[in-house]
Amino acid sequence: MHRRHFLTTTAALGLSSLLPAITMPERKDYLQTVTGPVDSDKAGWIMEHEHVLVDFIGADKVSRSRYNPDEVFEKVLPYLQELKKLGFTTFVECTPQYLGRDVILLKRFSEATNLKIITNTGLYGTQNGKYLPEYAFKETPEQLAKRWINEWQNGIEGTGIKPGFIKISVDKAPIKDFQRNLVKAAAITHLATGLTIASHTGEAAAAFEQLEILKAGGVHPSAFIWVHAQNEKDPQKHLQVVKQGAWASYDGAAWGEPQRYFKLIDNLKKNGYLNQILLSHDAGWYRVGEPGGGDFKGFTTISEKLIPLLKNKGYDDADIEKLLRVNPAEALEIKVRKIK
C-alpha cells in the first residue's frame, strides 16, 4: 500500500510566523531517475546494474574531453532500444564519478529511448583508490557524505539531475581504512537522503564487514545491495548475507553461464529468499580510449537465455516479475531504512 502523509513545510523552514501553513502531499514510494521521480509501481522491468560508458584511465586523468558524446550516443543507442523492445523500462547506470559518469549523456539517452535511467552519487574505492580523487583520502566520512548529500539536494555538477542511489566499492576483506570511510559516508548519506547503497564487493567477507559498519551507523541491511554477489563461491555465505536483510545482486549475467546464475538464484529461492535477489548483466559499455569504444556487450542474456532457463526449471511469471520488477523497485526506493 502507498502511504500519503502530509507535511507542513512552512514550519520546517522556520517560516511559520510569516506565511499561512501550507500542506503538501509527500510523494508515494518512488525511484529517482535522471528525468525526475518515478512511482515505484510504474518503473516496470528494471535492469539494476548496467553501464553506458566507462573510462578506466584513473581519477587523475579522467575527463569528458576524452570522448565525443555524439559518437557514444550513436554507438550505444541501438543497444538501449533493443533492451526497451525486450520489455525493460528502467535502466540503472552504475558508472560512478571519476569512472565516466556523464549525467547529461544519460538524460539524452533517456529522452531518446523513453527508458527511465537512474544514476548515482558516491565514490569507487577499489584497485587501491585508482578511481578516487585526492580529497577522498583526506576527508572524513562526514565531509564525503556532505558532497553526496549535496548532489541529492542540488543535483550533480550544476545540471539539476539527481542521483537515484549511492555507488561505492571496496576491495577484498579486510577492507582498507579509506574504503571503510566510503562505507561510513554511505551510511550517513543514506540516513540523510533515503538513497540505497550499492557496493561493488564480490566475496561475502567484504559484504559482512560493510554490513557491520552500516549497522554501527544505524543503517538497516535492507539499504545495502551486495553488488557482484555471484563472485562468492560458498552458497551458505549467500544465505548469511540475505538473512541479515541485504540484497544479493547477481549482476554479471552477460559474462557468466546461465546455468550458474540459475544455481545462485535457486539456492536463495529454495531457502525462502527469492524476495531479496536482484538480476542484471553488468553489460555495455563504451570503453573510452579504445577505437570506436571497443566491443559493446548488449543487454540481452537475461531475456534470451536466463528467463527461458528459469521457466524451464518451473519458475512462473510471478517469480520472474519479482526478480525483474518487484525486487529492484523495492531495493531502489528512496526510503530511509534505520535499525529499529
Q: In angstroms, what is the minimal distance from the CB of 216 to Zn ion?
A: 27
Cα–Cα distance for residue pair 26/314, rounded to 1 Å: 41
**Residue 265 in grid coordinates:** 538464484
Q: Is residue 156 close enough to count as binding Zn ion by CB under 5 A?
A: no
User: Does the footprint of Zn ion cover residue 219 (CB under 5 A)?
Assistant: no
- Does position 282 interact with Zn ion (CB under 5 A)? The reply is yes
Nearer to Zn ion, 102 or 282 (CB): 282
Taking CB atoms, the residue at the shortest distance from Zn ion is 282
Query: Using CB under 5 A, which of the segments 94-102, 156-164, 201-209, 236-244 binds Zn ion?
Result: 94-102
Question: Of 115-123, 269-277, 278-286, 328-336, which segment contacts Zn ion by CB under 5 A?
Answer: 278-286
77 CB-side CA count, 13 A: 14
In angstroms, give the least distance from the CB of 22 to Zn ion: 42
Q: Could you tell me the smallest distance in angstroms from the CB atom of residue 89 to Zn ion?
A: 20
Q: Which is nearer to Zn ion, 30 or 286 (CB)?
A: 286
| Total interface residues for Zn ion by CB under 5 A | 2
Residue number, 166 or 191, with CB nearest to Zn ion:
166
| Separation CA 305–CA 283 (nearest Å) | 15
Q: Which helix (H) or strand (E) holds 10?
A: helix 9-12
Stretch touching Zn ion by CB under 5 A, among 19-27, 93-101, 127-135, 159-167: 93-101
Please choose, from the candidates 86, 27, 115, 29, the residue with its C-alpha nearest in 3D space to the C-alpha of residue 329: 29
d(CA 59, CA 66): 13
Helix (H, G, I), strand (E, B) or coil at 45: strand
Q: What is the nearest approach in angstroms of Zn ion to the Cβ of residue 49?
A: 6
* Binding segment (CB under 5 A) for Zn ion, from list 37-45, 86-94, 141-149, 324-332: 86-94
Q: Cβ neighbours of residue 286 under 8 Å, at least 6 residues apart?
A: 52, 53, 54, 67, 72, 75, 76, 293, 294, 296
Q: Which is nearer to Zn ion, 57 or 239 (CB)?
A: 57
Q: Which residue from 52, 92, 94, 242 is in contact with Zn ion, where contact means CB under 5 A?
A: 94
Which residue, 149 or 264, is less far from Zn ion as judged by CB? 264
- Which DSSP string corresponds to 226-282? EETGGG---HHHHHHHHHTTPEEEE--TTTS-HHHHHHHHHHHHHTT-GGGEEE---
Burial (CB count <10 Å: 0-12, 13-18, 19+), residue 17: exposed
Q: How many residues does the chain have?
A: 340
CB of 131 to Zn ion, least distance (A): 12
Nearer to Zn ion, 93 or 209 (CB): 93
CB-nearer residue toward Zn ion: 43 or 94: 94
Contact indicator for 282, 290 with CB cutoff of 8 Å: no
For residue 30, the surrounding DSSP H or E stretch is strand 30-33
By CB under 5 A, which span of 90-98, 180-188, 232-240, 265-273 interacts with Zn ion?
Answer: 90-98
Judged by the rule CB under 5 A, the positions of this chain that interact with Zn ion are 94, 282
